[in-house]
A = this chain, B = another copy of it.
Amino acid sequence: MRITTEAIRAVEEPLDANHARDLDHASDLAARTGVDAEAVISEICRFSVAAPSWAVGTGGTRFGRFPGVGEPRTTEEKLDDVAALHALTGANRTVSLHVPWDDPDDPAALRAHADDLGLGFDAMNSNTFQDNPSTTGNGRISYKFGSFSHPDPVVRAHALEHNLAVVELGVALGARAITVWLGDGMNHPGQARFVDQFERVADGLHALHDALPDGWQMYTEHKPYEPTSYASVNPDWGSSLLLAERAGPKAKCLVDLGHHLPGTNIEQVVSRLAMVGRLGGFHFNDSKYGDDDLTVGSINPYQFFLVALELVDIGGGRMPDIGYMIDASHNLKDPLEDLAQATDQIQLAIAQALLVDRSALAASQDACDPALAAEHLQRAYRFDVRPLVAEARRRNGAALDPVSTFRRLGYRDAAVAERGTESVASGL
């Protein structure tokens, strides 16, 4: 089934009166703090974050996976799910594919399907952290001991070839970027020389960079561990920056919110990469321990607010034009409900960040007055921005209350009816 604005409006009609009242109050309160609520709503309306194709299926851990029901069986059905999500949020206009989990035989047909759904294609993702027939020359090589970093040049050549194929597919689909996240590194001290692994990866990324079409970008994505358990080739933003610099001007760094050691000040990492002109994009999620891939904002929403505030600062008062993607793993929740909650959290954090009086904050900073600075941050963070975000969704033809409305519309039941209870989406 497709979710339409009309269907949403019909379901949500009972909410309209209270929404209007709450919106009035929020606008009034914003005005009192010197902020134009319309400007906030307008920026939320404009913002979009890509949904990853793998995230519309159930995720798992190394200990197992408990599939859901009605999971999409094909990339086309994944797009259908993203379209349903976007209908509810108004803020997921693109989808990010992962090859070969997505490996369309007919890219033109897939693109036409996306067009029909009103969706575009965001950054492509390659996969050299697993062995798949289409990426290993039907098993002639293995990425067990690395891809771009492998001591054997034949393996490295296959890794490059796969990435080039992903770019080619992306061109056919109208995408404009490729994200390169590698599982390369070591599980054991002494397994390799750090500098050898780095140099090989830098060479591979440089070769890929030089083959990128005009207008494309490449994102390097760092992660300290997992699947590696001793050292990753690209473990931190410093390495990611060096790799991007070695690759070339089209290469920028992607920050996945879960790819940091305990205690990392992520908002500072964001600032550093932006400062040197290499902030490329985000994978949004949240975590308590490792790369937990939980709903963004579900563990530390204040930290996420601080990241959003950094972005608004970088963008001079609006969200900068970089890549935004959700990257979460829905092991227990319905994937579409979790994606709707994630998109909501992102919209809420941006709205809060837009409510910060940045010039008053700057004055408190110049005056060495951290207590006053904290007051300014709290004034925005404690603001109930839900009416502003709901209004932005409404104006985009989407839902005031995405999760409830998703349930009322019966999308999952319809999916089960069509796809069955045994379908398993490709992905992790």
Chain A residues near B (Cβ < 8 Å): 18, 21-22, 25, 28-29, 32, 60-64, 66, 129-131, 142-145, 150-152, 183, 186-196, 198, 224-227, 229-231, 235-239, 241-242, 261-265, 267-268, 271-272, 274-276, 287-290, 292-295, 298-303, 306, 310, 313, 331-334, 337-338, 341, 348, 361-362, 364-366, 368, 370-378, 381-386, 403-404, 428
Contact = CB atoms under 8 A, between A and B. Distances in A.
A227 B131 contact: no
Contacts of A237: 236, 238
A348 B384 CA distance: 13
A367 to B, nearest CB: 8
Complex A-B, nearest 9 residue pairs according to Cβ-Cβ distance, in ascending order: A238-B238, A384-B384, A194-B271, A66-B144, A229-B292, A64-B130, A190-B373, A145-B368, A61-B227
B275 A263 contact: no
Contacts of A332: 144-145, 187-188, 191, 370
Contact of A267 (B63, B194, B238): B194
A290 B230 CA distance: 10
10 contacts: A61-B226, A187-B331, A187-B370, A189-B298, A224-B263, A225-B263, A231-B268, A261-B264, A300-B300, A341-B375
Given A193-B362, A299-B303, 13 more contacts: A62-B227, A66-B143, A187-B294, A187-B370, A188-B294, A190-B361, A224-B265, A236-B238, A261-B262, A337-B371, A341-B375, A348-B382, A375-B403
B191 A365 contact: yes
Stoichiometry, copies per complex: 4
B333 A188 contact: yes
A230 B371 contact: no
B373 A129 contact: no
A294 B189 CA distance: 11
Point out which of A29, A289, A301, A366 has the most chain B C-beta atoms below 10 A from its C-beta. Answer: A289
Contacts of A226: 61-63, 289-290
B365 A268 contact: no
Contacts of A292: 187, 225, 229-230
B288 A230 contact: yes
Given A263-B225, A272-B238, A365-B151, A188 B290 contact: no
Contact of A265 (B192, B231, B375, B381): B231
Given A263-B262, A268-B231, A332-B145, A192 B288 contact: no
B333 A377 contact: no
Contacts of A365: 151, 190-193, 196
A310 B227 contact: no
Contacts of A21: 28
B288 A263 contact: yes
A410 to B, nearest CB: 16
A190 B370 contact: yes
B191 A235 contact: no
B298 A374 contact: yes
Contacts of A188: 294-295, 298, 332-333, 370, 373-374
Nearest to A306: B189
A143 B288 CA distance: 23
Contacts of A241: 238
A293 B66 CA distance: 23
A191 B220 CA distance: 30
Given A63-B226, A230-B288, A295-B188, A151 B262 contact: no
Contacts of A230: 265, 288, 292, 294, 299
A271 B195 contact: yes
Contacts of A378: 341
A370 B64 contact: no
Given A374-B190, A376-B190, A129 B366 contact: no
Given A189-B298, A365-B193, A338 B225 contact: no
Contacts of A303: 299-300
